[in-house]
Amino acid sequence: MCKKLLAAFLLLISATPLLAGELEERAAYNKRFSTMFIEEQFGALDNTADEYRADGSRSSSGLWMLTHFYAGIGSVTNGVQDETYWKNIESKALRWAASNPNSPAAINAYARILIDHGWKFRGGAWANQVPKENWKPFYEHLAKAKEYLLQNKRVASVDPRWFENMLTIARGEGWDRKLFDALAAEAVSKHPYFYQMYFSAIDYLVPKWNGSKEEIETFANFAVEQTTAKEGMGMYARIYWYASQTYYNVDLFESDVDWDKMKRGIDDVLARYPDAWNINNFAFFACLSGDKQKTTELIGKITGPPIARAWNGSEYHYYERCKAWTQSSRRLFRTDTQLTGQLVGQWQKVRLLENEGKMYLQNISIKSDGTIEATESQYDIKNREPIQFTWRGNWGVTDGMFWYITSASDQPQTVPVGKRLDATMVSASRDEWVMIDPVTRQKFRARRVTTDKETSATRR
């Protein structure tokens, strides 16, 4: 069985292309540590974990080597659905723990396999999308992992992975906030510089699970207080980087992130870890923020081809637009759903919203003649009645504010550059509004569009 597992895993590894810098390192670490685990080189695994824990080793991007160590072991179950395989992996981890009862790594590795096995049933979907029969095995695996971790806390909690595991369980079980806060406080008091612990806390705090954007911001500032002696503002940048990967994606600036703080954090991270992976990701965030000077600076540090994964999976879509923007006099503004480098004729917005029992699908096209067209499909979940709306309008960019007015609304819609700010209404008539930018204090006018056909609503 061991040889079959190893052969299957090495086949998967061999199909992965080599990547530059940090990503190449991660692929190598995954192969190394997963192979050691499959081959049951338990003594070598313990020695490696002890070494990483003692010296705080980091990879080229600054991530802890302990994180790569456990990620490599965990990779043996990535994407696996077969229950027999999962049981074999659990048994293998138990043999490791039995071979050395005083091994923090073995205890934490086994507990994590139980947790991951549980999440295989739960998945990352919204609760109402999880099959009912999957909830029981999900909670059973989390409960088993929690009991095991608490029984072995004295040995295993010297490793920050113990707290990372417990914070993941807290999210899955929906712990009361006081219990979560107590666990997080203990974690930080014992292992203040271990990034992954903070990231697991963020998973609990995102709006999808138990928190809010305000709580993420509060926690990010708390994390900086714990780590500033060695990291400066770096933890602030890393926390929002993680939040963008796991929750916000290109909508990072819909959070309460403070770009000035994040920019200082970026500088602190790059001062210690000027890795291409870090530079590419931070250049992307600078472009999303609308900071042309910082974007120009960071893109200038990219010496090779852009790393696709850092640019939202498409180096030619975002990287080329951002680079072109730094070399032009155009303003780059951010919409409420995605980055645009050149607005005219290129931007489409499609989003699915759920609010008060209705589903909305919007498709908005912005045209070079200054007009905007959209179709909006509304589906009443309760009555199962689909309704389609169509509307037209005008758009423009004035004094840093993207605005659009449609025949479907009584007020102009505005999206400012950088942070979201509300424009203030100065005066209004049936066909014209005068707005004032709260930052520049400059006024701009917006006119209602006139069309041959007003907003229509048709049932189908």
Structure tokens at 275: 């890795």
Of 86, 114, 99, 1, nearest to 47 (Cα)? Answer: 99
334: in domain: no
342: in domain: no
Residues 14 and 120 in one domain: yes
33: in domain: yes
Residues 108 and 7 in one domain: yes
Pairing type for strands 348-355 and 401-406 reads unpaired
336: in domain: no
Q: Does residue 302 carry a pLDDT above 50? A: yes
Contacts of 455 (CB under 8 A, 6+ apart): 389, 390, 391, 406, 407, 408
Residues 142 and 285 in one domain: yes
At CB < 8 A and 24+ separation, what contacts does 277-282 make?
A: 277/20, 277/21, 277/22, 277/23, 277/60, 277/61, 277/307, 277/310, 278/22, 278/61, 278/62, 280/306, 280/307, 280/310, 280/311, 281/241, 281/310, 282/237
333: in domain: no
337: in domain: no
Give CA–CA dist 125/131, Å, rounded.
10
State the burial class of residue 124 (Cβ atoms within 10 Å of its Cβ: 0-12, 13-18, 19+). Answer: exposed
pLDDT in tens, 229-281: 999 999 999 999 999 999 888 778 889 999 999 999 999 999 999 999 999 99
pLDDT in tens, 43-101: 999 999 999 999 999 999 999 999 999 999 999 999 899 999 999 999 999 999 999 99
Residues 45 and 190 in one domain: yes
Residues 252 and 377 in one domain: no
Residues 34 and 92 in one domain: yes
CB atoms under 10 Å from CB of 351, counted, come to 12
Residues 305 and 376 in one domain: no
Q: What is the DSSP secondary-structure string of 306-355?
A: --GGGGTT-IIIIIHHHHHHHTSS----B-SS-B-SS-TTT-EEEEEEEE
192: in domain: yes
Residues 145 and 217 in one domain: yes
Q: Which amino acid is at 28?
A: A
Residues 209 and 314 in one domain: yes
Residues 405 and 315 in one domain: no
250: in domain: yes
Residues 355 and 320 in one domain: no
DSSP 244: I
Please answer whether residues 359 and 386 qualify as being in contact, where contact means their C-beta atoms are separated by less than 8 angstroms: no
Q: How confident is the model at residue 409 (pLDDT cuts 50, 70, 90)?
A: low
- Domain count of the chain? 2
Residues 371 and 322 in one domain: no
Range of the domain at 89: 2-326
